[in-house]
């Protein structure tokens, strides 16, 4: 019997017992926090990262918290590895009910006038192409079962170029990811598969700590531009991902939800 059996009906709608979730980039940052939230709600987890070491560390952490999780290694900046990951997950023969396409990032701060074609393509592959590949592969299996949840981790930069950073392939890729979310949601809504996006504002993850270390005053400057006056805490994305992944979010599809402490209000 589920440990959640005694919950009131509204909380039971968040119960993921019996569901299996793949979270790409689930070994650190926002991905790990979303994995933790789904795992606490009873989901069996598959987390994928580019480095076996960080995947293993995340698995140890999750197992110590009593969460069921397996790991996979793949460099999802390479579309061929995204194809191989999707095929490997299907070959396991156990359904993936929930897919969180979380891998992404900016990685470069190069002005457009200096950006090479290779740099442009690399950021599109990292933020967009692999999400398409996994959505196609694992989404097709969800359609056959007539139940599925896909959550794409986009960015407030899907809607807004920002001022302090360059490397506009990131904004472009995230905008395309948000539109891909809406278009696929429309196609798959009649077949029981929801597709939504979360558009985070600035969160204090490893990726941003690297920028903070390189740019004196950046941490304070960004906080001052957010109406709430602070960066997001990675664990603050977990409950929203759980809502979208569960029966609680059954009527929501094609939505791109901003989670930014009010950043785009100013």
Residue 100 three-state SS = strand
Rounded to whole angstroms, how far apart are CA atoms 141 and 66?
Answer: 29
Q: How far apart are CA 132 and CA 172, in angstroms?
A: 15
Closer Cβ to ligand NAP, 29 or 167, answer by number: 29
Q: How far is the CB of 196 from ligand NAP (least distance, A)?
A: 14
**What's the closest the beta carbon of residue 189 comes to ligand NAP, in angstroms?**
24
Tokens representing residue 36 in the block: 């933790």
For ligand NAP, give the closer residue by CB, 56 or 247: 56
| Chain residues in the site for ligand NAP (CB under 6 A) | 25, 27-31, 49-51, 54-55, 74-77, 102-105, 126, 153, 155, 200, 202-203, 205-208
Q: Are 143 and 188 in contact (CB under 8 A)?
A: yes
DSSP annotation of 233: P
Residues involved in catalysis:
170
Question: Is the CA virtual torsion 23, 29, 33, 39 positive or negative?
Answer: positive
Closer residue to ligand NAP, CB minimum distance, 49 or 139: 49
What CA–CA distance (Å, rounded) separates 36 from 7? 19
To ligand NAP, the closest distance from the beta carbon of 123 in angstroms equals 10
Q: How far is the CB of 18 from ligand NAP (least distance, A)?
A: 25
């Amino acid at each position: 019997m589920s440990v959640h059996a005694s919950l009131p009906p509204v909380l039971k709608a968040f119960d993921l017992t019996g569901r299996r979730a793949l979270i790409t980039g689930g070994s650190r940052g926002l991905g790990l926090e979303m994995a933790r939230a789904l795992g606490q709600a009873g989901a069996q987890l598959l987390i994928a990262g580019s480095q076996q070491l960080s995947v293993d560390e995340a698995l140890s952490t999750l197992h110590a918290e009593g969460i069921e999780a397996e790991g996979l290694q793949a460099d999802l900046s390479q579309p061929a590895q995204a194809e191989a990951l999707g095929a490997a997950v299907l070959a396991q023969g156990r359904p993936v009910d929930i897919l969180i396409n979380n891998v992404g990032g900016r990685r470069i701060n190069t002005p457009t006038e200096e950006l090479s074609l290779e740099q442009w393509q690399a950021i599109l592959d990292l933020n967009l192409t692999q999400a398409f590949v996994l959505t196609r592969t694992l989404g097709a299996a969800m359609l056959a079962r007539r139940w599925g949840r896909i959550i794409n981790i986009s960015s407030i930069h899907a809607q807004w170029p920002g001022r302090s950073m360059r490397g506009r392939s990131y904004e472009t890729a995230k905008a395309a990811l948000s539109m891909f979310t809406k278009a696929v949601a429309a196609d798959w809504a009649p077949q029981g598969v929801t597709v939504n996006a979360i558009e985070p504002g600035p969160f204090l993850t490893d990726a941003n700590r690297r920028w903070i270390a390189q740019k004196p005053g950046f941490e304070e400057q960004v906080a001052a531009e957010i109406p709430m006056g602070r960066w997001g805490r990675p664990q603050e994305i977990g409950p929203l991902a759980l809502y979208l992944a569960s029966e609680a979010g059954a009527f929501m599809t094609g939505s791109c939800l901003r989670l930014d402490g009010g950043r785009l209000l100013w």
